[in-house]
Amino acid sequence: MGQRHPLTSNSALETTIDKILNNTEKDILSNIKSTLVESQQKLDDSVQKLESEYDKIISDGKKEADKIEKQIIGSSDIEARNKQLMLLEEAVAKVFSKALDQIANTDKSGDYSNLIKTLIDESTQVLGTSEITVFTSAKDRDVVQSTLSQFSGAELASDTIDCLGGIVAKSKDGAMTFDNTIDARIERLKPLIRKDIASKFGVGN
């Protein structure tokens, strides 16, 4: 009584061990399955995150490329515009130079005395007085002297000036001077002429 049969004891032990092993196996498999599911979920989450980051990198890259492209185009436009303006300035300078040469070589007869009269008349209006001293070039002295007879109070200066034509009027009190030479009139017209030419060629001013 009270003694177990050796075979019975071993069998019970084996059964117990089997149960333990089975339970352990189940626990392990359950843990593995749980871990696998968790890993799969993390992987899925990571893929979504990576795809989102990938899209962001592509989007940022495209924005940067667009920005660089605009900068390149902008620089090219500015460079092209500067070249256009330089060419325009050179062309305008040549036109003015040619026009000045033609004026210098023009025969000052006929209507030129009418031009001198107009210039003197404008000068008296600008200065607000006909009490003026008129300066002109050596070449124009005779025609100016002859025209001044039509303006009482105006007199021809003894000194001459260097210019293409026209006159410089100075009030006799010396307070006011108006340069109405052809040279000065061309200089005053230059900005308007340059702007008009630039507009015609679509360059702007």
- Ordered mean pLDDT values, 10 residues apiece, the chain (205 residues): 56 83 83 80 82 87 88 86 83 79 74 89 94 94 92 94 93 94 87 78 62
Q: What is the CA radius of gyration of the chain?
A: 51
Predicted confidence at residue 131, as pLDDT, reads 95
Nearest to 184 by CA among 126, 128, 131, 108: 126
For the beta carbon of residue 144, count every other beta carbon within 10 angstroms. Answer: 24
DSSP 140: T
Would you state the pLDDT for residue 9? 65
Is the pTM higher than 0.85? The answer reads no
Angle between helices 6-104 and 182-200 (to 10 degrees): 140
Q: Which residue has the tokens 């890259």?
A: 61
135: three-class secondary structure by DSSP:
strand
- pLDDT (0 to 100) of residue 200: 74
pLDDT attached to residue 48: 83
How far apart, in whole angstroms, are the C-alpha atoms of residue 55 and residue 49? 10
Report the C-alpha gap between 61 and 80 in whole angstroms.
Answer: 28
Residue 128 DSSP symbol: T
CB 160 within 8 A of CB 144: no
